[in-house]
Structures are given as C-alpha cells and as structure tokens.
Structure 1
Amino acid sequence: METANEKKTNELKVKEVTKKRFESTAFIFQNIPLWIASCVIGLLAVLYAEILHFGESTFLKIYAQNKAWVFVLAPVFFFLSYISVQKYAKYSNASGIPQVIASLSLPKKKSKKLIDQLLSVRIIFIKILSSFFMSLGGGVVGREGPTIQIAASVLHVVNRTIPDSWPKISQKLMIITGGAAGLAAAFNTPLGGIVFAIEELSKNHIKYLRTTVFSAVIIAGFTAQTILGPYLVFGFPKVDPDGWQFFLILLLVTLVCGVFGAYFGKIAFNVNKFKKKLSKKKQFIFGFIAVMAFATVVFYTDKDSVGAGNLLLDRLLFEADKKVEWYTIPARLFNGIISFTNGGAGGIFAPALSFGGSIGAFIGDLFTLKSRQINMLVLIGMVAFLTAFTRSPFTCAILVLEMTDRHSVIFYMLVAAWGANLIANRIDQKSFYEKTAELITKDLLSQLDPRDKNKSKKVEENLV
C-alpha cells in the first residue's frame, strides 16, 4: 500500500509530465505558422531574385545595343518606381531595413495600426514592383534589404491573421525572425541572418531569439537552396594574404572604404532630408534633373556603372581581367546615391559590396599585386564598405565569409570590419539605417492622438 507521501509524490510527477507534454504540444502548434511562413519567405526570396535579375539583364541587353536608350529607360522607370511607392505604399521605399527597425521601436499599445503601414501585403507587392522598375532603369540597387522587409511583412501578416485562440509568438519576435530569415534566404547565409538579427534588430529581445530565429532561418534558407541549389553568391575565390607589406595595403583599403562608406550613408541621408523639405513639384523637378545626370554618367561610362554590382564582383573575383577604370568607382558611387534616394524601392547591400570590391581591386592594381592578392583586397573592400555603411561589423564579416567560403581569411575580414566601424563612427555616430528609422518612427508617432503622444515620448528618447 502506498503511503500518503508517496501518493502525493506520484501525483506531482504525473502533473509534471503532463505539463511538459502540454508545453511541447503548445510549442509545436505555436511554431507551425512560423515554419509554413518561412517556406513562403524562401519562395518569395527566389522569385524576387529572378524578377530583379530579369530586369537588370533586360536593361543591359538594350544598353549594349545602343547606349542612348538610357536617356529613355532611366527617366521612365525611375519615375514609375517613385510614383508606385508614393501613391500606394510610401513606406515601401528604399531598402526596408529602417522600416523594420522602426517597427520594433513603436509603443506596444498603439503599434498595430502603425506597424501595418510598414509591414503588410501591400508593402510586399509594391516593394517588388518598384524595385523591378528600378532594375529596368539600370538603377544601382539590390534586393537584400527589400527582402528583409518583405520577409518581416510575411511573418507580421501571418501573426496578425492567426486567431487569438491559437498560441502565438510575440509580434516583435516574429518581425525580428522575419528579418533574419529574409537576409538568410537572400544571400544564402544562415549564420549571417542570425548575426544580423542579434546585432541589428534584436537589441532587448536577444534572450527570446534562439528557437524562432534558428528555425525560420533554416527553413527559409533551405527552401531557397532547394530551388537554386547549394550555391555561394561569390563562391570560392582564390586568395593570398601573405606578407606584412600586403597587410599594410589591406589596412589602406579598410581606411578608404571606411571613409567612403560612412560618407555615402551620410550623403544619402542628407539628400533624402533635403528632398523631404521640398514641395511635390520641386521634388519631381529635382528627381528629373538627378536621373538625367544618372543617364549622362551611364552613357559616357560603361555597364560597370549600373546594376546591383554582382556581375562586376564576379569578374573581379573569378576572371583574369581585374581592371577597374578610374571612372568606375566615382560613377558607381554617384549613380548609387541617385538610385538609392530616388524615392522608389531598392536596397544597398549588394551595391555596397560592389563599391568596396571595386575600391579594393583598384588599389590592388595600383600596387601591381598578384591576382590572388587582388582577390583578397576585393573581399576586404566588400567587408569594410558594407560595415561603414551599416555599422554592423560582425554581420558584414560573416556575410562575406559565408558568401565566399574563405574561412582561412576570417581574421583579416574581422580586422577590416573592426577598422571600418571605428572610422565610420568618427565620421558619423549613427548609421543611415539608424537615422532613417528615427525619422520614420517620429513620422508615425505624429499620427497618434495628443494623449498617446505623451506616452510615446519615452520611445523617442530610447531611439535617441
């Protein structure tokens, strides 16, 4: 016969087992929508990549036949990109990363309606359409930042659609997870997606990230990889970092890219700020003058001055021709500013990598280095420029590491990321993303009632 104590102990054990089973079942049900949505993110990332690739290749084919077509294609498609955003979803403009950061900074009570302006089905469609127009116009824009906003929109919409009776993951955690999954699917870099979530998006949400981010990153990345195969964006370049003299040149590339990357972000932000002060009519006139200047530069240079820059990096890393003309770097930087501040959709991750890569190749050519050493400087330039622009050194180093599979030079990549971050912070304490996210948040908070605005002052103080 059982004693009273033994009976009580057995009852407690049964309750504990029942509780664990319930928690396990609840966890599975809670994550089912996340896993399904992550598959959707992977599919959208692949579709989006193909759409922009088609747009860029179409522009290049027409441009190769007659350069003068740029004076037609650029104004028409830049305008269509701009007007589609302004008319249907104004927060689908540019990269999308500041919008995701802003959505995580809004007050809980009033955030639902405000976040819907930043992350929604409409945002997804307009983001894809507007950036497609930019690619048809030869715009120097990428798809990685937009993919992050698209992915965050998918998970946000799914989370809003789930009935209250279903166990839910928190709204902000779903947004962070979407951003990480989007970057992982866009670049085929699962570690980069996880580090990006921790370094750029999570801030006070790190302790909740483990299961949701890992599962979403794996599923979204695996879905994209299943369709496209186990590819690397810039796979297996041959590198040679030997010698202390070469290390000094590496530091020079880091310095130059750190300065250029920081000022690129600063100029882009100030151009956007200036345009915002103008009337709609003056904005249109300013935009037309800018796009005609873009077309003129493209007409008098070559194909290296347009597009996301993947084709340029492929040539620099894998072909014998590693020559970067003297005009390529200023032309790409100028066209990048015009494209990124046009008012349409389009990211800057891929262009920033190409800016840094071309600077590295140019400096390598000045010192008449060997092919493998130039490859190394291209990678260092990629890391340094992207770090200076984003101020996310670990994310940038891990991204380039995963895209190229060059684990043997991770130390040099970290040195470049660390150095570029220090230089950029001396030039401007906040990145383009941080400052733009602050403006978006303030703009959204201004829509609240006066009583709600008082409650939101702490949010603005936290942002600052």
Structure 2
Amino acid sequence: MQSIQEILLTIRSVKLTDLDSWRERLVVWVAAMTAGFIVVMFAKAAEYATSFFFSLQKTSWWLPLVVTPAGGMLIVWITNRWFLGAGGSGIPQTIAALQDKGSRSEHPKLIGLKLAFGKIFLGVGALAAGFSSGREGPSVQVAASVMHAFRRFLPSGFSVHPKHLILAGGAAGISAAFNTPLAGIVFAIEELGRHFEQKTNGVIITAIVLSGLVSMSLEGNYTYFGHITVGKIDKDIIAPIIVCGLVCGVLGGIFSRTLIESSTRMNGKLGVFRALHPLWWAGFCGVLVALLGAISDGAAHGSGYIFTQNILNGTNTSTWQYAPIKYLATIFTYLSGVPGGIFAPSLSIGAGIGNDMLPLFGHYHAATAISVLCMAGFLAAVTQAPLTSFIIVMEMIDGHEMVISLMAISLIAAIISRIFSTPLYSTLADKQISSITNDNQKPQTNME
C-alpha cells in the first residue's frame, strides 16, 4: 500500500493540482468538441447539397450539363483567388503541415481557419454542382485547422507540440465524419503521423473521444451504412478474397497513379490548355462528369452513398456500368481542381466492383460480403493504408465477423497497388511541400 508521501508525489506527477495543466486540458477538450461540431455541421450541409442537386436533376435531365461545368468554373475561380490550399480533400495538406521543418510554423498555406471555411463552403458547393466527391477527406483538414487554431489559448510551455494538435484534429475529423473512432486512431498512426510519440496518445484519444461524443449527441450512435448482414463466413470466402484483392489492387493502383501523375503539369495540348485556362478546364471536366451522370441516371454524381447502401442492402438496380462510371467521374472531379475527397467515392467504387464480380462467385451465398470486401480492398489500394481501410469498413457496417477477411483483402490489394503507384497521400504531400518551398510557385489547387 502506498504511503501518503507516495500518493502526493503521484498527484504532483500527473499535475492534478497544476492550474496551467488544467487550462491546457480544457483548451484541448474545447478544441476537440468544436472540431467535432463543425465536422457534423459540414456533414449535414453536404447532405443538403447532394439532395439539392439530385432534386435539380429530377426536374430536368439536361440541367446538370449546365450546372456542373458552370459550378466547377465558379468554384475553381473562388479557390484560386481566395482559398489557395483548399483544393482537393486536404489530407495531403495536413500531412505536409505535419512534415514541415518549421518547428512552430503557422502553416498559412496548409492549415488555418480561413482554409477550413473555404474547404467547407467550396466542398459543399462542389456537391451541390454534382461533382463526384466526398466530405470525409476534407473533414481532416477542417478539424486539423480548428484544433490548431486553439494553440493560441494554450499556456506557455505547453507539454504537447502544436503540430500534435494538427495530428489529433485530423484523426478526430475522420472519426467524426464516419463515426469510426478506432479508424481515427489508426488513421493518425498509419497515414498522418508516421512517428507516433507516446506523449501524443492522450491528445489524440481525447480529441477522438470528445469529437465522437459531439457527433453522437447530434446524430445518434449510428453506423455509417447501418448493420449489414453478410451471412456465414467460412473457408469459401478465401477465393473471393484473393481474386477481389488482385482486381482491386490493380484498379486502385491505376486510379492512384492517375491522380498522382495529373497533379503535375500534363503533357500535350490538354496540358497546355489546363495550365493556361484553369477555369475552362474545370468547366470541361464538369461537362464530362455531367455526361457520365446523364447516361447513368445520376450515378456519377455525389459521394455515392445512396448507391453503395442500395448495393449492400441488396436493393441495387444499377447495371455493371456503375463502377466504371463512378471511377471515371471521380478522376474527372479530381482533375477539375474543385475541393472534395475520394474516401467516400472510393468506397462506392469498391462496392460497385464487388457487385460486378458477383457472377464469378455464384456458388457463394454471402453476396453482400463480396461488395464489402471490395470496398476495403479498393480503398486500401488507392490509399495504401490497409489498416485504416479494413477498420473503417468494419466499423461502418458493424461487421466485426469479417475482420480477418477485411484485413486479408486490404493487405493483398495494398501490396498489388504498390506495383503501379507510390502511396497517394504522402506523394501528394511531398509535392505540396515542394510547391510551397518555391516562392514563385503557387500551391496546387487539385491536391487530393
């Protein structure tokens, strides 16, 4: 049993009586709850924007042919004029901010409240215009910006580096966006912070817990796609894991390589046109997305949430064309330069690939499991973050019975993807850092 002196020493070591330490904790708690609240509001605004676009499309099939390109041009113009650094999902910008050599840099071109506002406003606008994007990736930069902004309220001698607020905010953003707290922690370790320090644990976990509590209090304790019944999982799933892992690995690797290659100057006449006329280029990409939407009854637009849910629930009426159409629409959206993420579209593409591969496994009765496997496999191939991919899918469908299967296909797909592409987010983050270090070069606006 501890003596009185030992107990008092323990209390002093954890700073339970230190007012500055309590102020430090309070600032972090308020920052995390604020970030969670803003991410939830972002999600609600994105839902309204998506509903608005689809209601517009139902009014007249040709309206997207006008709204999408015009909206893309306006969004890119606003981004280039006032919100440089807000393009794409913001995950590379967040990673770049963490890798910045400046020990206490303000990261004005990567992280900030102005960029967070622009990300939300323009990201919602991109969905309202009908582009194929998601709000989950942008939530990383938004939450990281919000938490980092609270550093000014910390007492002097703060025990955790301000950059750790960026790391914690990014993790909280993923957690609150998908309501997947475990995936938020793994995402922080695997993707955002390659060097995970013990003293950062408390900040990250606290941010995820508090942002998650705010999310649950506003939207309830839900799973992103609801509880999905996948049926019996046995040895028959081994063949689908291998085949789907190979297919998703190849397609995801090519997808990732395309985004990376297009982040630099394109060759040929199209490259010259894109460099000289970014607004017209955004309009051209918008036309392509609108045309894909016209021939697919709207499947090319939005994050793909509704179509994915229909596939998982067995009420899907889409043809085999859904996956390739969503695949191309997401690439064209990225090329346009509008802010928007690829997390949700990648999950949707994966579900479509799984739906198309069902005839190959006609003997296998757990048909929904094939789509779930491909969701994790394609996301892992695109991001080359297999741990985050399988955990996020597992939490999104409440599918703990598939944990081994999801883990296996994510690892296979990520390994195959490396044949075709370098890691997407870290590569784009390196490009972001290179562009910022050159004083004469503006930050790229189509970073995903």
Q: Would you say same fold, with TM above 0.5?
A: yes
1:119-146 Cα shifts (integer Å, max 9, x gaps): 1111111101111111011111001110
Contact 1:119 1:153 in 2 (8 A): yes
Do the aligned partners of 2:187 and 2:388 also contact (CA within 8 Å) in 1? yes
Render the CA deviation track for 1:218-253: whole Å, top value 9, x for unaligned.
000110110100110011111135454442123212
Q: Give the secondary structure class of the aligned counterpart of 1:117.
A: coil
Alpha-carbon distance between aligned partners in 2 of 1:301 and 1:414, rounded to the nearest angstrom: 32
Deviation at 1:23, TM superposition (A): 6.0
Encode CA deviations 1:293-331: one digit per residue, 9 max, x unaligned: 222221122122211011011101124x34541321111
Alignment correspondent of 2:135: 143
Give distance in 2, aligned partners of 1:198 and 1:445. Answer: 26
- Aligned counterpart, 1:446: 438
Pairing partner for 1:158 from 119, 142, 150: 150
- The residue aligned with 1:228 is 219
Q: Secondary structure at the match of 2:132?
A: coil
Q: What is the rounded CA distance, in whole Å, between the counterparts of 2:17 and 2:132 in structure 1?
A: 47
User: What pairs up with 1:430-441 in 2 under 5 angstroms?
Assistant: 430-441=422-433
CA RMSD of aligned residues (A): 2.3
Query: Which residue in 2 is equivalent to 1:52?
Result: 46
1:250 aligns with 2:244: no
SS for the counterpart of 2:395 is helix
Mapped contact 1:239–1:375 kept (Cα < 8 A) = yes
Residues in 1 aligned to 2:123 and 2:22: alpha-carbon distance in whole angstroms: 36
Deviations 1:357-407 (A, max 9, x none): 11001111454466x622101110110011011111111111111111111
1:259 is displaced (CA, Å) by 1.1
Using a 3 Å threshold, how does the CA distance of structure 1 residues 341 and 443 change in structure 2: closer, same or farther? same
Would you say 1:360 and 2:354 are equivalent positions? Answer: yes
Letter in 2 for 1:61: S
Return closer, same or farther for 1:427/1:156 CA change in 2, 3 Å cut-off: same
Inter-CA distance 23–82: structure 2 relative to 1 (3 Å threshold):
same
- Partner Cα distance (1:378, 1:17) in 2: 52
Partner deviation per Cα, 1:151-187 (whole Å, 9 max, x = no partner): 000111111x226547453111111101111111000
Match of residue 268, structure 1, among 259, 265, 271 = 259
Residue of structure 1 in register with 2:419 after alignment: 426
Please tell me whether the aligned partners of residues 57 and 64 of structure 2 are also in contact (alpha carbons under 8 angstroms). yes
Check whether the contact 1:380–1:412 (CA below 8 A) recurs between aligned residues: yes
**Residue 287 of structure 1: aligned partner:** 282
Taking a change above 3 Å as real, the CA distance of residues 18 and 271 of structure 1, as seen in their structure-2 partners, is closer
Match of 1:203, SS state, is: coil
Report whether the alignment pairs 1:309 with 2:301. no
Contact persistence 1:241–1:376 (CA under 8 A): no
Partners of 2:10 and 2:47 in 1: CA distance: 53
CA–CA distance in structure 2, aligned partners of residues 197 and 73 of structure 1 = 37
Which residue identity lines up with residue 272 of structure 1 in the other structure?
S
Q: What do residues 85-131 of structure 1 show as CA deviations (whole Å, max 9, x unaligned)? A: 1111211110110001000111135x514x12211111111101111
User: How far, CA to CA, are the matches of 1:93 and 1:176 in structure 2?
Assistant: 20
For 1:13 and 1:49, the matched residues in 2 are separated by: 49
TM value normalised by structure 2 = 0.91
Answer with 131-140 or 199-208: which moved more. Answer: 199-208
Q: Is the contact made by 2:70 and 2:283 (CA closer than 8 Å) also made in structure 1?
A: no
Superposition deviation, residue 424 in structure 1 = 0.7
2:183 to 171, 192, 197: 192
Say which structure is richer in helix.
1
Aligned counterparts of 1:145 and 1:103: Cα–Cα separation in 2 = 16
Query: 5 Å matches for 1:3-402?
Result: 16=9, 19-20=12-13, 22=15, 25=18, 26-109=20-103, 112-113=105-106, 115-159=107-151, 161-162=152-153, 165=156, 167=158, 169-242=160-233, 244-274=235-265, 278=272, 280-319=275-314, 321-368=315-362, 373-402=366-395
Q: CA deviation at 1:15?
A: 8.3
User: Contact 2:394 / 2:403 at 8 angstroms: preserved in 1?
Assistant: yes
Which residue is equivalent to 1:459? Answer: none
Kept after mapping to 2: 8 A contact 1:81/1:129: no
Structure 2 letter corresponding to 1:202: G
Hey, what's the Cα distance between the residues in 2 that align with 1:209 and 1:83? Answer: 38
Aligned residues: 433
* Residue aligned with 2:439, SS: coil
Judging changes above 3 Å, is the alpha-carbon distance between structure 1 residues 315 and 164 closer, same or farther for their aligned structure 2 residues? same
Superposition deviation, residue 287 in structure 1 = 2.8
In 2, distance between residues paired with 1:255 and 1:351? 20
C-alpha separation between the residues in 2 aligned to 1:70 and 1:217?
38
